[in-house]
Structure 1
Amino acid sequence: MSGLNASLGYFLAVVIFATSVRTLFKKWPWFSFIMEFASSFMLVACWLEVQTIVEVGEWAGGLGPDVTLTMLFGVLLTHGIICGGMSGNPTLVVLKFLHLEVTSLSTLLAISAQFLGAYLARLFAVYYWRLELTDMHMIKNMMASECSTSLLVSRLEGFFTECVCALIFTLIHLSLQRRSALIRVPVIAILLTFLSYTARNYTSAFINPSLAYGLTFHCPGFTLVEYAVVYWLGSLTGMTLALLLYVGHIPRIFARNLLYFQKTRFRVPKGDKAEKKKM
């Protein structure tokens, strides 16, 4: 239980940091990219600890798959509650950009902040492991330089896995946009937990370029370009296809609906039609 208590303390420290940043900058919409930084930092830092429990927790701390799934769901649920509209996910920021909800500048600032948050979260987690507070973290510290990649299939299979998972996630995300947070946040957390567990032997279904960058890009086995094709291009392709299927077009690129016929909102009265024919 000591390992679990240390992990819970770590999670609490990261959550307090993200909450403090959100509280400080919530009043200034122009600094929303800083909240995206905090959101990405929280997600990557917490997921790295969950990943540690998955890799060595079962035989170093007696923590089984049920514990890891519960903790992953708890992390995703807490992230959704605390960060609110700040996703910490570049794919969702690009989705807003394609949907004409944000400008080019705010998109670039948000994505840059998310990758910076992922990078610093990685450094923070490595520092925490070096403290070796438990046997589990001591082993993780020894393994840190030789981590195992989350990409366990070929580039093509990985690309299609991330693409399909991003397609499913984005369609559900779009359909829940107008729902209450009491429904939306738990459903998204359950969905991401399910996709991650289902794809654990393929890509782990991060569906988040900055999250993948913080968790697996530094691991040997694939080049940066190969990782980018799977986790960046795959996620963006799935998101774009989902937007096209949901809306019928890409608003940023096509003004005309390409898939669905749009009926006019105004109907001409039958009497007017008869008079026009007589004339």
Structure 2
Amino acid sequence: MAAGGAGTSLLLMAGITVTVGLCRRLTRRRLRAHPRLCTFLLEMFSTFQVCACTNELCLLGNVEPKPHAALTFTYGFTVLHGLTLTGSTCNPCGTLQPMWGGGTSVKMGGLKIAAQFVAAVLARVFMNFIWSLGMAEPHFEALSQGCSNPMQTTETQAFCIELLFSVVFQLTILRVESVNPKYKVHLIALLITMLVYAGGNLTGAIFNPALAFSLHAHCFYDKFLSYSLVYWIAPSLGTILVAFIWDEILPRIS
């Protein structure tokens, strides 16, 4: 991708971030008296930002120098999401973990997960519209591309990778809960960048069911069973495993 194309993508993602920030602020101000609707919209806007920006970020994978530029963008935008989307998980697995531990009711957790998947679909539709405008050369290729086949290994190995990455990620989230937020966001961003570097060429290293659906909607349509097992079931099982170990096993041996 040329420098101009990368600049267009960065400006687009910055615009999405600013717009979502304004929507979140307006939602908090106007819907305080409607907590459920407020929660739904805040989670939806936040997940929309993550999904839309990541859809665009995937187009920067070929920016030179490879893979340093792409990893830098991944780290930078993960930090940006962490700083601007406080209070939102943007990941069904992140919502599932407190549901399992009793910290979130099933009804509220289900509401957030629904918001996340609605946002995933809206983000994909929105990005398809943006790409159809042809603001940058890679947008034409992205629009015409079907399933990008993110699984570059066997289904069994892909399942294990996404499960393992989900376990590592959720364990880290629990471990850094008490860390100063200024440092925590960088620790999480560094971990995500490392996981993307380690497994991005094999599965995409997504470990987020809503994001996976937004990024690879065509693949879910073509091979629903395979992709749902790898990108939905595996990270969810990893999250449940972490929650079980954290809540049931560690307290007994500590």
CA distance in 1, matches of 2:103, 2:40: 15
Aligned to 2:44: 37
What is the TM-score normalised by the length of structure 2? 0.90
Asked if the contact 1:53/1:63 (under 8 Å) is kept, the reply is no
CA distance in 1, matches of 2:6, 2:252: 55
Asked if the contact 2:120/2:213 (under 8 Å) is kept, the reply is yes
CA distance in 1, matches of 2:213, 2:93: 13
C-alpha change, 1:5 and 1:96, in structure 2 (3 Å) is: same
Aligned to 1:255: none
User: RMSD in angstroms over aligned alpha carbons?
Assistant: 2.0
Asked if the contact 1:36/1:110 (under 8 Å) is kept, the reply is yes
Deviation of the 1:221 alpha carbon: 9.2
Identity %: 27
Aligned to 1:267: none
Asked if the contact 2:167/2:239 (under 8 Å) is kept, the reply is yes
Deviation of the 1:184 alpha carbon: 1.1
Asked if 1:261 is matched to 2:252, the reply is yes
Gaps of 5+ in 2: none
CA distance in 2, matches of 1:125, 1:63: 25
Q: Which has the higher contact order (CA 8 A, sep 6+)?
A: 2
Aligned to 1:208: 208
CA distance in 1, matches of 2:161, 2:222: 17
Asked if 1:132 is matched to 2:134, the reply is yes
Look up the equivalent residue of 1:40 and give its one-letter code: T
Look up the equivalent residue of 2:7 and give its one-letter code: N
CA displacement 1:137-194 (0-9 Å, x = unmatched): 23333x33x2412122222111111111111111110011122111111111111111
How many residue pairs get aligned? The number is 247
C-alpha change, 1:262 and 1:203, in structure 2 (3 Å) is: closer
Asked if 1:243 is matched to 2:243, the reply is yes
CA distance in 2, matches of 1:180, 1:39: 22
Aligned to 1:11: 13
Query: 3-state DSSP class of the match of 1:218?
Result: helix
CA displacement 1:77-124 (0-9 Å, x = unmatched): 111111112021000101111111111111111111100101110111
CA distance in 2, matches of 1:215, 1:108: 22
Query: 3-state DSSP class of the match of 1:88?
Result: coil
4+ residue segments displaced more than 4 Å:
none
Asked if 1:195 is matched to 2:195, the reply is yes
- Counterparts of 1:90-109 in structure 2, within 5 Å, are 90-109=92-111
Asked if the contact 2:96/2:240 (under 8 Å) is kept, the reply is no
C-alpha change, 1:152 and 1:25, in structure 2 (3 Å) is: same
CA displacement 1:214-265 (0-9 Å, x = unmatched): 0123237961121111111100111111122223x2xxxxxxxx564378xx
Gaps of 5+ in 1: 250-257, 264-279
Aligned to 1:20: 22
CA distance in 1, matches of 2:175, 2:214: 29
- Of 83, 86, 100, 2:85 maps to 83
C-alpha change, 1:132 and 1:64, in structure 2 (3 Å) is: farther
C-alpha change, 1:193 and 1:259, in structure 2 (3 Å) is: closer
What is the TM-score normalised by the length of structure 1? 0.82
Asked if the contact 2:43/2:90 (under 8 Å) is kept, the reply is yes
CA distance in 1, matches of 2:126, 2:41: 18
CA displacement 1:20-51 (0-9 Å, x = unmatched): 12212235343112111011111111111111
Look up the equivalent residue of 1:225 and give its one-letter code: L
